[in-house]
Amino acid sequence: MQVTDSDEPVVTEEDPSKEAEKSEKSQVLETNLSGDDADCGSVLDVSGKSLDFSVPNGSEGSVEGLYMYKNVFNLIPKWLGGLRKLKTLKFFGNEVNIFPTEFRNLVELECLQLKITSPSLTGLPLHKLMALKELELCKVPPRPSAFPLLSEIAGLKCLTKLSVCHFSIRYLPPEIGCLKKLEYLDLSFNKMRSLPTEITYLNALISLKVTNNKLVELPLSSLQRLETLDLSNNRLSSLGCLELDSMHNLQKLNLQIFPI
């Protein structure tokens, strides 16, 4: 069995929209918590960060600008309400439609720019933002979701090869277990934290690639025909959940950039 486990940087596939993102991102300042900017004070840029990102300790009272661009948010984190000195908030490329009650604490906010996918904004307390001088609301198309499509795909009983990549999938429907003849499955470059237990029903599976996701657990013990398993660039903390000793046909295992 060939095992790849290297600390060398892994070259990942470029996102098709990378150039467009760079163009819009060029308008966003880099993280600056020094307070040297004479116009807007210190600026916190969390562009590209995940939902787990939090404000550095001790900086809440100094941040006057916050830019949140192309994250995985579908609601604004509650810690934003602690930035009571915030004057500028730019929130682009996130699927937000729910605002926390803490948003009403931003009483010094002067500039608010939101690009959102939903026409309704639940919990946005504009009547509390009395210092607001600039307000820009723009509705943008939602990012494609593969979930409804995957439910339909589950009806294709003769399918032997399935690849669904770069769709920002957060979870698989349990119907995936209906594809009894599936031999090759590639779910790379998505945002899944786990796979359904029904994936163990895919007894014909020979190759499974789930690289560049956010997986923390994998129920794969029943996949005894598996020959290739690519788990690179995920968040698994151990290999115990994989039960590799039961995968007698496994020939190639990729664990590059694996936090163990």
Q: How is 86-134 classified by DSSP, letter by letter?
A: --EEEEES----B--GGGGG-TT--EEEEEES-S--BT--GGG-TT--E
Bridge partner residues of 188 (DSSP): none
Q: What is the largest CA-CA distance in the chain?
A: 66
- pLDDT class of 210 with cuts at 50, 70, 90: very high
Which carries the bigger pLDDT value, residue 136 or residue 29?
136
pLDDT, mean of residues 179-205: 91
Instruction: Check pLDDT > 70 for residue 159.
Output: yes
Q: Report the alpha-carbon distance of residue 190 to residue 187 in Å, rounded.
A: 7
CB 150 within 8 A of CB 172: yes
pLDDT, mean of residues 43-58: 64
The per-residue pLDDT for 217 is 79
The per-residue pLDDT for 181 is 92
Instruction: Check pLDDT > 50 for residue 43.
Output: yes
CB 183 within 8 A of CB 160: yes
CB 91 within 8 A of CB 113: yes
Portions of the chain given CATH number 3.80.10.10:
18-139, 144-260
Q: Report the alpha-carbon distance of residue 40 to residue 44 in Å, rounded.
A: 11
Instruction: Check pLDDT > 80 for residue 96.
Output: no
Bridge partner residues of 229 (DSSP): 208, 253
Q: What is the pTM of this model?
A: 0.48
DSSP, residue by residue, 122-187: BT--GGG-TT--EEEEEE-PPPP--HHHHHHHTT-TT--EEE--SS------GGGGG-TT--EEE-
pLDDT, mean of residues 227-241: 83
The per-residue pLDDT for 143 is 57
Query: What does pLDDT average to over the chain?
Result: 74
Lowest mean pLDDT across 10-24, 163-177, 226-240, 243-257: 10-24
CATH 3.80.10.10 fits 18-139, yes or no: yes
Q: What's 247's DSSP letter?
A: -
The per-residue pLDDT for 240 is 65
- pLDDT class of 166 with cuts at 50, 70, 90: confident
pLDDT, mean of residues 218-243: 81
pLDDT, mean of residues 43-47: 76
| CATH H-level, domain 144-260: superfamily | Ribonuclease Inhibitor (3.80.10.10)
pLDDT, mean of residues 109-122: 74
